[in-house]
Amino acid sequence: MKGPKTVFVCRECGNASPKWLGKCPECGMWNTYDEEQVVEKPQNNALNRGRNSATYSKAEKFSELELPKYMRTSTGMGELDRVLGGGLVDSSAVLLSGEPGIGKSTLLLQICSVLGKTRTVLYVSGEESKGQLKLRAERLGITGDSIYLLTECDVEAILSECDRIKPDVIIIDSVQTLSSMRFTSAPGSITQVRESAMSFINYGKTTGAAVFLVGHVNKEGGISGPKILEHMVDAVLYFEGERTNSYRIIRAIKNRFGSTNEIGVFEMGDKGLIEIPNPSEVVMAERPKNTSGSCAGCVMQGTRPIISEIQSLVAKSVYANGKRTSDGFDYNRMCLLIAVLEKRMGLKFYENDVYLNVAGGISLNEPSADLSIAMALISGITDKVIPDEVIAFGEIGLSGEVRAVSHIEYRVKEAVRLGFTKIVLPEKNLTKALKVPEGVELCGVSNIYQALVHMKPKSREAE
């Protein structure tokens, strides 16, 4: 007798094979194949049989299409709303992922409080007991009569509760714990994750409920489970932060209803996550005074300028090849800038170890950070100090020229707001339209040499 047909599926990329493989030929990962049962689609189901030319969808003219009205609801957290593109969209599916213990459950429980004021919210947990959740809700001060809690892993059981409660917002914590009786594979396996997620996404699309899915991350930091999960949902949010500090950043990797450049900044405390609407101030508050190797820079995160402090430490190397590390800035870009400074200015970085760090855990992934990084490096190697009132931004080209950057008004405005009085910026960006209050100086530079005048020898008595 023929048994049920099985197939081996790669957990990482979804590649299927009739026999088990140690290494996936598709994505190159080791030991990622799980055995799964093949579910055959009935050949003549109603969908196939019932279709004829009368039921086919018709193409319509773009000009005659009606504009959809996205109903957005505020989550009560401006920082999260911003990342979602202006609030939670009805019938949308959002995947929230992040490392264990980063605060995914905390964030979602916190937004229940505000959403629960106007909507019916169902929080489904497959990981924690009701007692644990109640305890956390007490600590976070969650109140509300239309917030429901369900501790269940079975998809069919959850959907049946959904039919009874009719939630407007469904939170699934987490998608890896779900399993459906329709499939024999273990919870967390690719079929279970994909099909369970699909059930809730479809439920949301048909009833108008917004669905949050919590996803675990794998060792490499990617969302564990099939990549396909990211394609199925409308938005993928990633929650990140370092164990050593309490700041948490949430960013959109994908968003069908808004930009993916925006970030939301939070701080984790015993009352849960607190929003930080002005991250620049937090980062700059801890800046040391009168030290060499430090320069302030500004990068855009979506529509928001964020000012950070760049620190460099340049120390004589004991090895033939100096060591280089970079934290918060692209390593190769740093090496390129060092090469430009060596070649164009004759600075001997090769004799030194170079450590670069961006304070506050925000990564500067924009060319406009070049000038501030270069200045921090020069200051580090020459031991000259960049005064606290100086901030710099501009892209650096291979011959040491400083190139114009975008969003100049936003950056200048943020620098002025934080009290910088000397703004070093690309000459090309200096236009008549650029206005600053009295006492603030705009210093246009067209190459890296011109930026040097804004450094001064280290004054020992000021220490």
Ligand X SMILES: Nc1ncnc2c1ncn2[C@@H]1O[C@H](COP(=O)(O)OP(=O)(O)OP(=O)(O)O)[C@@H](O)[C@H]1O
Binding residues vs ligand X (CB under 6 A) = 98, 100-106, 127, 139, 268, 270
Write down the least CB distance from residue 107 to ligand X, Å.
7
Minimum CB distance to Mg ion, residue 97 (Å): 11
Q: Which does 328 bind (CB under 5 to 8 A by kind): Mg ion, Zn ion, ligand X, none?
A: none
Best CA proximity match to 262, nearest among 309, 298, 300: 300
Verify binding: residue 113, Mg ion, rule CB under 5 A.
Answer: no
Intra-chain end-to-end CA distance of the chain, in Å: 86
Interacting partner of 27 out of Zn ion, Mg ion, ligand X, none (Cβ under 5 to 8 A depending on kind): Zn ion
Of Mg ion, ligand X, Zn ion, none, which one does residue 97 interact with (CB within 5 to 8 Å by kind)?
A: none
Q: Is 27 in the site for Zn ion (CB under 5 A)?
A: yes
Q: With CB cut-offs between 5 and 8 Å by kind, which of Zn ion, Mg ion, ligand X, none does residue 270 bind? A: ligand X
Closest-CA residue to 169 (of 78, 108, 256):
108
CB of 100 to ligand X, least distance (A): 4
Least distance (Å) between residue 103 CB and ligand X: 4
Q: Is the Cβ of residue 224 or residue 308 nearer to Zn ion in the bound state?
A: 224
Is 105 a residue that touches Mg ion (CB under 5 A)? yes
Any contact of residue 190 with Zn ion (CB under 5 A)? no
From Mg ion, ligand X, Zn ion, none, which one binds at residue 230 (CB under 5 to 8 Å depending on kind)?
none
115, 152, 176, 244, 259 from 122: Cα distances, Å: 11, 12, 18, 33, 27
15 binds Zn ion (CB under 5 A): yes
- The answer for residues whose C-beta is within 8 angstroms of residue 310's C-beta and 6 or more apart is 294, 295, 296, 297, 329, 356, 357, 358, 359, 364, 369, 372, 373, 376
By rule CB under 5 A, what count of residues binds Mg ion? 1
Q: How far is the CB of 62 from ligand X (least distance, A)?
A: 42
> Residue 101 binds which entry of Zn ion, Mg ion, ligand X, none, with Cβ cut-offs from 5 to 8 Å by kind?
ligand X
Where does residue 407 fall: left (phi above 0), alpha (psi -120 to 50 degrees), or beta otherwise? left
Residue 13 binding: pick among ligand X, Mg ion, Zn ion, none (C-beta 5-8 Å cut-off by kind): Zn ion
Residue 71 Cβ, how far from Mg ion at the closest point, in Å?
28
Q: Closest distance between ligand X and the C-beta of residue 104, in Å? A: 3
Give the shortest CB-218-to-ligand X separation in angstroms.
Answer: 13
Question: Which residue from 7, 13, 153, 436 is in contact with Zn ion, where contact means CB under 5 A?
Answer: 13
**Residue 142 CB, nearest approach to ligand X (Å):** 13
Specify the residue, 32 or 176, whose C-beta has the smaller distance to Mg ion.
176
Do 204 and 71 contact (CB within 8 A), yes or no?
A: no
Q: How far apart are CA 12 and CA 188, in angstroms?
A: 12
Distance (Å, whole) CA 441 – CA 404: 18
Closer to Zn ion by Cβ: residue 26 or 353 = 26
429 binds Mg ion per the rule CB under 5 A: no
Chosen from Mg ion, Zn ion, ligand X, none, partner binding at 224 (C-beta under 5 to 8 Å by type): none
Evaluate the CA torsion angle 69, 72, 78, 82 in order and state its sign.
negative
The answer to whether the beta carbons of residues 425 and 393 sit under 8 Å apart is yes
Residue labelled with tokens 């975008």: 406
- Indicate the residue type of 437: P
Nearest CB to ligand X, comparing residues 127 and 427: 127
The least CB distance from residue 96 to ligand X, in Å, is: 9
CB of 127 to Mg ion, least distance (A): 6
Bridge partners, residue 443, by sequence: 424
User: 105 or 120: whose CB is closer to Mg ion?
Assistant: 105
Tell me if 9 contacts Zn ion by CB under 5 A.
no
What CA–CA distance (Å, rounded) separates 14 from 32? 10
The residue among 220 and 270 lying less far from Zn ion, judged by its C-beta, is 220
The amino acid at 361: G
Kindly state whether residue 307 participates in binding Zn ion, applying the rule CB under 5 A: no
Q: Which stretch binds Mg ion (CB under 5 A): 10-18, 100-108, 133-141, 203-211?
A: 100-108
268 binds, among ligand X, Zn ion, Mg ion, none (CB under 5 to 8 A by kind): ligand X
Q: Using alpha carbons only, what angle is made at residue 438 by residues 433 and 441, rounded to the nearest 5 degrees?
A: 70
Residue closer to ligand X (CB basis): 104 or 411? 104
Among 6, 26, 363, 450, binds Zn ion (CB under 5 A): 26
Site of interaction with Mg ion (CB under 5 A): 105
Interface ranges with Zn ion (CB under 5 A) = 10, 12-13, 15, 24, 26-27
